[in-house]
Amino acid sequence: MKKALILFLWLAVCSWQMSAGQATATPDIVYGELFKEVQMQNVFPDGKTFVDCLPKRNPKEIVQEYNKLKGSSFNLKKFIEDNFELPHTPQLNYVTKEKDVVMHIKNLWGVLVRKPDVLTLAADSTAFNAAQESSLLPLPYPYIVPGGRFREVYYWDSYFTMLGLRESGETEMIDNMVKNFAYLIDKYGHIPNGNRTYYLSRSQPPYFSLMVEMLAGIKGDSIYVNYLPVLEKEYEYWMAGAAKLKPGQQLDRVIKMPDGSVLNRYWDDNPVPRQESYKEDVETAAKTKRNNKEVYANLRAGAASGWDFSSRWLTDKKTLATIRVTDMVPVDLNSLMYKMELVIAKANLIRRKDSVAAAYRKKADNRRLAIDKYCWNKALKYYTDYNLVTRRQTDVITPAGLYPFCFFTRNLDYMSLLASQVAVQVREKLLQPGGLVATPETTGQQWDAPNGWAPLQWMAIWGLDRCGQKDLARDIAYRWIKLNVDVFARTGKMMEKYNVADTKLEAGGGEYPSQDGFGWTNGVLLALIAKYGMPKE
């Protein structure tokens, strides 16, 4: 109880200290027409550049001057360069000297670390403070960023990064990052996609309960109790409005299914073009006759899923304008919610709140039954997403369908039987020379063939290994390890994503070039090497 009280007081102090002067208005609101012009005219090749810029003076003054100067002879790019400081990407200056990939990653932690974000108020309250006008949401403790254009902490990335931090003995950094996420939940009611104002309207796959579980494995069960208040608060965010729904209704992140069971979906509260991908979203909406707000809501929900973007979400499996994320009951999200319910139950059990623990276990049991009912595709013998419009499972085979095998606590013999069935689809549809492909479809989207991603490899290997498919799990691990090591030997880089179909080619697709750094790749590779060792030639 004493530690829980200390955590509570710490959060309260941080909230008071860091709220001073920090605005949460998004760049499109702050800069209005100037924002739209910069994004639509491609002043920067990457739409994320401008929203990460720091103004050199008060934004209101910048907007006023823009309104006076704009016209046919106005040089917009020069105006931006004169009035804004462009974001820095320090790791671009890092020169790879290590030949050993493990040593390289351990050295990279120091490159990817960011110090606590401190907002200091000037003695003269009228003085301009650029940090207070930044889109960056300040955090009280150090953290690890993914790398490249991703200059801030990201929610689900961080869990996989932590896997490598644990193998590197960086337990203090894991502790700091969990504290940062607890701070975000306490201050904003949820963990945003990343610590930027333009990410506040959505979250990402909810891995916080797994982070707490990891930290508890290092520091002991008191961690569960310490973080129980914020675990429950995050749960409330995902479940908000559930009690008011009737069967067949949806509200934000929650869905009441026809049989009365409650499941979740990905959602963003702000149905406008993403500020960091403004032009791309406007152009996507222009390619369809659908209501623009509906398109924007689904593009943002796709970003909330982490799978931005994939044929998994596309009605025609190929065209981004047909995106329908909010119509889907995602199997991976609901498996993570099941895990969250179990962790909250365990925390309450440690507190000797047996009745509360039992209630959360009951919620988890009900959710598991609903996942089986709505997401188990009997024809494919695989877990897939459930489409609320067609009222049937989709036929898209992805590694997301392996999440239940990581978490479900019912009879493992039964889960092993199911795992032997899904293993057939994994081998036939997903397994490639470099690991598992995100989907079998080739669309030009980055979460489709031929690309593979570190988090998907880890979750698939975890689930298959846990439920009896150890040889297949090991095979996937070795393929992924070899691909990562080979690419590092060729390029000196750890990449955000990889081409698993042709391991000599780079990954592609999506809205931006493939990034290097890279947090979750580093974490998963270290964890897999620790578990399986290096593959034999």
| pLDDT tens, residue by residue, 384-398 | 999 999 999 999 999
For the segment 1-28, the average pLDDT, to the nearest whole number, is: 52
For the segment 255-267, the average pLDDT, to the nearest whole number, is: 98
Is 80 exceeded by the pLDDT of residue 19? no
- Give the per-residue pLDDT at 71: 83
Is 80 exceeded by the pLDDT of residue 20? no
Residue type, 6: I
CA distance linking residue 311 with residue 317, whole number of Å: 5
CA distance linking residue 405 with residue 420, whole number of Å: 11
- Give the per-residue pLDDT at 511: 85
Catalytic site residue from 308, 448, 475, 516: 308
Contact 438, 451 (CB under 8 A): yes
Contact 201, 188 (CB under 8 A): no
Is 50 exceeded by the pLDDT of residue 3? no
Label residue 123 by pLDDT band (50, 70, 90).
very low
Catalytic site residue from 167, 496, 511, 516: 496
Give catalytic status of residue 85 as yes or no.
no
For the segment 12-27, the average pLDDT, to the nearest whole number, is: 56
- Give the per-residue pLDDT at 118: 65
Q: Which of 423, 379, 370 is nearest to 401 (CA)?
A: 423
**Average pLDDT score, the chain:** 93
Q: Which of 420, 419, 441 is nearest to 430 (CA)?
A: 441
Label residue 132 by pLDDT band (50, 70, 90).
confident
- Give the per-residue pLDDT at 11: 44
Give catalytic status of residue 276 as yes or no.
no
CA 22 to chain CA mean position, Å = 24
CA distance linking residue 53 with residue 36, whole number of Å: 15
Label residue 92 by pLDDT band (50, 70, 90).
low
Is 60 exceeded by the pLDDT of residue 10? no
CA distance linking residue 275 with residue 374, whole number of Å: 34
Is 90 exceeded by the pLDDT of residue 7? no
CA distance linking residue 438 with residue 431, whole number of Å: 10
- Give the per-residue pLDDT at 514: 85
Note the pLDDT tens digit of each residue in 22-74.
Answer: 568 999 999 999 999 999 999 999 999 999 999 999 999 999 999 999 987 89
- Give the per-residue pLDDT at 411: 85
Q: Which of 521, 439, 444, 432 is nearest to 485 (CA)?
A: 521
DSSP 8-state assignment for residue 225: H
DSSP bridge pairs for 376: 383
